[in-house]
Amino acid sequence: MKEYKTIIFYDVTRLISRRSSPIASGIDRVDIKYLRYVLNKYGTACNFITKIGSQAIPVNRQLAVKLIETLEKTWFGSKDRDLDVARDIEMAGLSKTIKGFQGPFGGRVKNLSVRLLWKHFKKIIFLNDVKEIKKTLPNKVQCFIRLPNIIIRTIAFFYAFLSLVISIQWLGILHFYLFNKRWFQQKKLDRYMKKNENIQKVYIVCSHHGIARNDSLLTAICKKYNLHVIAYIHDLIPVEYPEYVRPNGTNQFKNYLSNLAQVNANFIANSYDTAQRLMTYAQKNEWQIDTVPFTYPPYNPKLIKKRILKNPKEQSLNNKHPYFITISTIEPRKNHLLLLHIWRNFVCSELSSIPHLHIIGKRGWENENIIDMLSRCTAIQPYITEHNNLPDNQVLNLLYGARALLFPTFAEGYGLPLIEALSHGIPVIASNLAIFREIAHDIPEYIDPLDGKKWKNMIINYSQKNSIIREKQLKRIQYRNRYATEAPSSECFADLISQIINRKAYKNEIQCYD
């Protein structure tokens, strides 16, 4: 099948919202890596778009590339976050708010609105008594004004306006709205689409965010610009496990999938397990969608290995006690509470050598019980260390010295920490989930996430220096890393995109001949 000329519109809504975040989540990592590969493959044919309110706004190419490079350096490198990009995005009108906007006179404008301006001026505009109007002016001016009322009213109005400009630096906001008006950006997108109306256009979203969350907006731009939609699905957790997401998360995700199905989007899943779940959900809702292909999220251990500190294996020598590590956002779905209760049991049972536990991940939502255990349970505090903003290189150095990665989660869409640990030769003790068996086969130790006793015994066994069970898993890992061929997932993703694009263009071409 021949290649068809295509224009790509990649949704960067999530990445823009994460512009100031020092640490990347799993979806963030996949989103930015696929974006980088699409950008490298399609070059200038790859454009960027974002959702602001109920509008689809194009993103300046230079600014988008700068954002990508900055996030890559912050998340995967060793550099601190760059707030200049966040400011540039806000000045370009790509942020919902202007909080923290740096005005041209160096002041910081916060929480300004037209209401403040109107509240200040309405006293002058609607006052009928000239004496009251004069009171709004300085005392030195009031004493010698002998002018008609209309002139006094005008002087008072301009004086109030000038005082506002000086006191709250209104010129900064004026600059923001005059030179970065979203209306001009929308017209620019219209002109670009009209210029390329005969070329196939594809909208790609890999983040569960963006334009597809607004049904009317997605339908409108697909119809207006003749866009074909491709969506990458990470999991169906909000639908299958609503108790583990934010209160409105389930309805938002259902609407997201429904909106995509209404515009006949092509889906790509992150695993066979997710693809099957999505197909089942589509059949349940009587959606007519094509067979869902899948490609695993990108991960290159050789590239990551270059960024770790020197002699990472010395990390285990620097720790007097054996330790375990768990990597995930602190939320109920990840089942941190099970591990904390196990460590409390270690203390109560007076275990001779209590291993340490390093919890790596930011604090999420609905986690009050977990936070209470971490902050108020003094018995386990000497053995538990929490890391909320640990860079990748430090995570890997900590991982290299661990006895095992603990992953007692209740549900997952993929499980990047598991793949990362195995790729670096670290044993894994994980929940008995179908997705884990799909991507890791029989290498890790699988335990039911509710079987606390078995988890406790396995942790005790792995904490011993001469653990036979741990040695067996290390041999399985060595065999995997030596003979297994890692699929180039980024290339697979790009190939799937090309196949879908060409198949769609070919069908349209046949219809035209018919």
Work out the pLDDT band at 4, boundaries 50, 70, 90: low
CA pair distance 427, 444, nearest whole angstrom: 7
Select the more confidently predicted residue: 51 or 165: 51
Among 259, 381, 403, 394, residue whose Cα is nearest residue 324: 403
For the sheet with 384-387, list strands across it: 384-387, 356-360, 323-327, 405-407, 428-431, 445-447
Predicted local distance difference test score (pLDDT) of residue 155: 65
pLDDT band at 193; cut points 50, 70, 90: confident
The span from the first CA to the last CA of the chain, in angstroms, equals: 19
Is residue 181 pLDDT above 70, yes or no? no
**What gap in Å lies between CA 205 and CA 96, rounded to an integer?**
20
Q: Measured between alpha carbons, how far is 8 from 45 in angstroms, rounded to an integer?
A: 6
The band of 164, judged by pLDDT with boundaries at 50, 70 and 90, is low
Mean pLDDT over each residue of the chain, to the nearest integer: 78
Distance CA 314, CA 397 (A): 9
The rounded distance, in Å, linking the Cα atoms of 300 and 419 is: 10
Q: Can you tell me whether residue 476 is helix, strand or coil?
A: helix
Q: What is the DSSP letter of 246?
A: -
Q: How far is CA 85 from CA 15, 29, 88, 399, in A?
A: 12, 19, 5, 31
User: Which pLDDT value is given to residue 510?
Assistant: 36
CA 197 to CA 127: how far, in whole Å?
55
Q: Which of 12-21, 87-96, 99-108, 355-364 has the lowest mean pLDDT?
A: 99-108
| DSSP string of 413-454, one letter each residue | S--HHHHHHHHTT--EEEE--HHHHHHHTTSSEEE-TT-HHH
**What contacts 371, CB < 8 A, 6 or more positions away?**
330, 363
DSSP annotation of 499 reads H
Contact 338, 359 (CB under 8 A): no
Strand ranges inside 153-254, DSSP E: 200-205, 227-233
Taking the C-alpha atoms of residue 94 and residue 85, their distance in angstroms, rounded to an integer, is 11
Residue 269 has pLDDT above 60, yes or no: yes
Task: Yes or no: say if 333 and 409 are a contact pair by the CB < 8 Å rule.
Answer: yes
- For residues 285-308, average pLDDT: 73
Radius of gyration of the chain (CA): 28
Whether the full predicted model's pTM is greater than 0.75, yes or no, is yes
Give the largest Cα separation in the chain, rounded: 100
Place of tokens 């010295």: 401
Q: Is 483 exposed, middle or buried (0-12, 13-18, 19+ CB in 10 A)?
A: exposed
pLDDT of the residue at 290: 78
CB atoms within 10 A of CB 80: 10
In the predicted structure, residue 110 carries a pLDDT above the cut 50: no
Amino acid, res. 57:
I
Average pLDDT over residues 299-326: 60
Phi and psi (nearest 5°) for 491?
-65, -40
Is there a contact between 338 and 452 (Cβ–Cβ < 8 Å)? Answer: yes
Q: Which residues face 269 on adjacent strands?
A: 233, 294
Kindly tell me if the per-residue pLDDT of 447 is higher than 70: yes
pLDDT value, residue 5: 79
Tell me, what's the pLDDT at 513?
28
Best CA proximity match to 324, nearest among 312, 300, 342, 304 = 342
pLDDT value at 432 more than 90: yes
Closest CA to 412 of 454, 380, 459, 444: 444
Instruction: Note the pLDDT of residue 99.
Output: 39
pLDDT digits (tens, 9 = 90+) for 359-413: 999 888 888 899 999 999 999 999 999 998 888 888 888 999 999 999 999 999 9
Beta bridge partners of 230: 204, 266
- Distances, alpha carbon 244 to alpha carbons 267, 273, 330, 366, in Å: 24, 19, 12, 8
Looking at residue 509, what is its pLDDT? 46
Percent of the chain with pLDDT over 90: 38
CA of 151: how far to CAs of 130, 142, 146, 155, 461, in Å? 10, 13, 10, 6, 89
What is the pLDDT, as a whole number, of residue 237? 94
Beta bridge partners of 357: 324, 384
Cβ-count burial 232-271 (b if 16+ within 10 Å, e if not): bbbbbbbbeeeebbeeeebeebeebbebbbebebbbbbbb
Round to whole Å and give the CA distance between 268 and 258: 15
User: 56 is written with which tokens?
Assistant: 């689809």
